[in-house]
Amino acid sequence: MLIERFDVEVFTPPCEPGAERYAAKARLTRDIAEVLPYLNATLRGAVYLPAAQALTWKKGGHNIAFHAYEIATSNATDREEAERELRGLIDLVNKTWERRAEITPDHDTHQRPAPMALYKLLPQTNCKQCGEPTCYTFAFKLGASQKSLDDCPVLHEEGYAGKLAQLQSMVIEAPSIGRSE
Ligand code: SF4
């Protein structure tokens, strides 16, 4: 197991006083930089910065960062959720490390899709069936992994198959964190 021991800290970020959002970080007792290219290969939408030995990822509205000696997540609604997600990330790192023989590590830096690039492939009807006021708002949240392609029923109608396929290749649709897969 790569991560066996760690200290957990749950806190309210100083930039968001009173926002009632929580962040959590795990301080690690060993260097996990070696797993980052494997995470980069398996977490769609991750941004790997080799020189900084860091990998950032957005999932379900949470900003996540993996560093050599630290893992952090933010934007949880309460302390329990923050800690649960953090432990899910540690589990993800350990499982990825165990599977590394099956994964081709990716050492490149990939950028997240820009909202406008996603918007151009959406139906652009502003029908609000996804719960968002406009397709552009949906595109923004899609890029941040706060929405999924399944939330837009129009995309699954006949005639959008090509655009849906392009969107699927661009967006982050990785497993949810905070629970064992
Ligand atoms: S459901 Fe799809 S088409 Fe309708 S507003 Fe949302 S993104 Fe646009």
Query: 68 CA to middle of ligand 1, Å?
Result: 40
Q: Measured between alpha carbons, how far is 162 from 115 in angstroms, rounded to an integer?
A: 18
Supply the pLDDT for residue 159.
93
Listed in sequence order, the residues at least 6 apart from 1 whose beta carbon sits closer than 8 Å to its beta carbon are 94, 97, 98
The finding on whether 156 has its CB within 6 A of some atom of ligand 1 is no
Residue type, 61: G
Which of 121, 134, 135 gets mutated to test ligand 1 (max ligand atoms within 8 A of its CB)?
135
Nearest CA to ligand 1 atom 7: 135
Q: Is the pLDDT of residue 45 over 90?
A: no
Range(s) for CATH 3.30.310.10 in the chain? 6-102
Q: Tens of pLDDT along 152-177?
A: 999 999 999 999 999 988 875 554 44
Fold of 6-102: TATA-Binding Protein (3.30.310)
Mean pLDDT of the chain: 88
CB 128 within 8 A of CB 135: no
The whole-angstrom separation of Cα 156 and Cα 163 is 10
Domain 115-170, classified CATH 3.40.50.300, yes or no:
no
